[in-house]
Amino acid sequence: MDLQYFLCWRVAPLFFLMPCGLQSMSVHILSEQPVHVIPGSRLVLKARIELGPLEEVSMVTWEREPETGIAPVRVRLATCAGRSLKCAGTRPTVDVNTEQQETTLQINRYSREDGGVYAVTVTDHTGATTTAHCIVREYEAVHHVSVSINVSHSSLVCGEAWGTDPSFSWLYERAAITTTVGKISNDGTTLVVTMTPICGHFTCMVSNKLGYNTATYTAAPCEGRGTTAAVVCLVLLLLVAGVLAFLLWRKHRHNNRGERLHEHLDDTI
């Protein structure tokens, strides 16, 4: 029996004797990334800690560093240490709470300076560490909405500069889009115009939690609408003229009857 075969048979049983849960610990931040926060509101980050049966958390630290820069400086925000994992923040607006399988960081009155890359580091009783990261950015309002036309596809495309979570909607002549006017894409950015010819005013409205902004594409005037408006105005003018003529005729007739009655009385006397 050669040496390699002998060692294989000697070492293999050791793997079956090892506990199934000896995998190294890990930590995961639960928030979807990047996290956008409105200035003045509250930032809350939660992280899940996965431990093996023989592992125990001895320290948790939360830190932050700028998202960009040549040599970003990492700032410690909070530390939880000891068997009870007692936590302490480095400033009054920072609160942190940690258990064996979860840690939560909360920053009150979030400001622009609080943006960056957040890191949570977990240390076990042997000194081994694992780290998870999360990008946090300021929630931006909607800016610079524009509408352009794709003539070859008979469609209007709405664009927006850098707002967070923009939501797109369309109006035609200040009313909601109907199937006779066009069809809106699933993301709301494109309006495929089905009416022919393309005429009137098309407005794209982009909104988020901080407000909205609009842009309007003005096509050629709709001929049918202009003719209809002219006809309506002419009818109204004719009605007004007819009413005035009737009132004048009635007044004139009343005056004539008064004069004839007066003459008849004079002749009788």
What is the per-residue pLDDT for 134? 97
What string of pLDDT tens digits covers the 269 residues of the chain? 454 444 344 444 444 444 444 458 899 999 888 999 999 999 999 999 998 888 899 999 999 999 988 878 899 999 999 888 999 999 999 999 998 799 999 999 999 999 999 999 999 989 999 999 999 999 999 999 999 999 888 999 999 999 999 999 999 999 999 999 999 999 999 999 999 999 999 999 999 999 999 999 999 999 865 445 555 556 677 777 777 776 776 666 666 555 554 555 455 55
Token pair in block for residue 167:
């939501």
Nearest to 123 by CA among 160, 166, 180, 81: 81
Task: Report the distance separating Cα 240 and Cα 246, nearest Å.
Answer: 10
Distance of alpha carbon 128 from alpha carbon 139, whole angstroms? 36
User: For the structural domain made of 22-138, what CATH number should be given?
Assistant: 2.60.40.10
Contact 130, 24 (CB under 8 A): yes
Was domain 146-218 assigned CATH 2.60.40.10? yes
> Checking phi first, is residue 100 left (phi over 0); if not, alpha (psi -120 to 50) or beta?
alpha
166 close to 141: Cβ distance less than 8 angstroms: no
The pLDDT of residue 256 is: 59
Q: Would 22-138 and 146-218 be classified into the same CATH topology?
A: yes
Buried b (16+ CB within 10 A) or exposed e, 13-29: eeeeeeeeeeeebebeb
Contacts of 25 (CB under 8 A, 6+ apart): 49, 50, 51, 52, 55, 57, 122, 124, 128, 130
Residue 168, Cβ neighbours under 10 Å: how many?
19
Per-domain residue ranges of the chain = 22-138, 146-218
Pick from 167, 195, 165: which is nearest to 37 by CA? 165
Give the CA radius of gyration of the chain.
39
d(CA 40, CA 165): 18
Query: If DSSP codes are grouped into helix, strand and coil, which group holds residue 253?
Result: helix
pTM, rounded to two decimals? 0.69
* Amino acid found at 189: T
Indicate left, alpha or beta for 200 from its phi (over 0: left) and psi (-120 to 50: alpha).
left
Place of tokens 């942190």: 96
At residue 43, the pLDDT reads: 97
Q: Give the angle 110-114-118 at the CA atoms, nearest 5°.
A: 120
For 213, residues 6+ apart whose C-beta sits below 8 A from its C-beta are: 142, 143, 144, 145, 160, 205, 206, 207
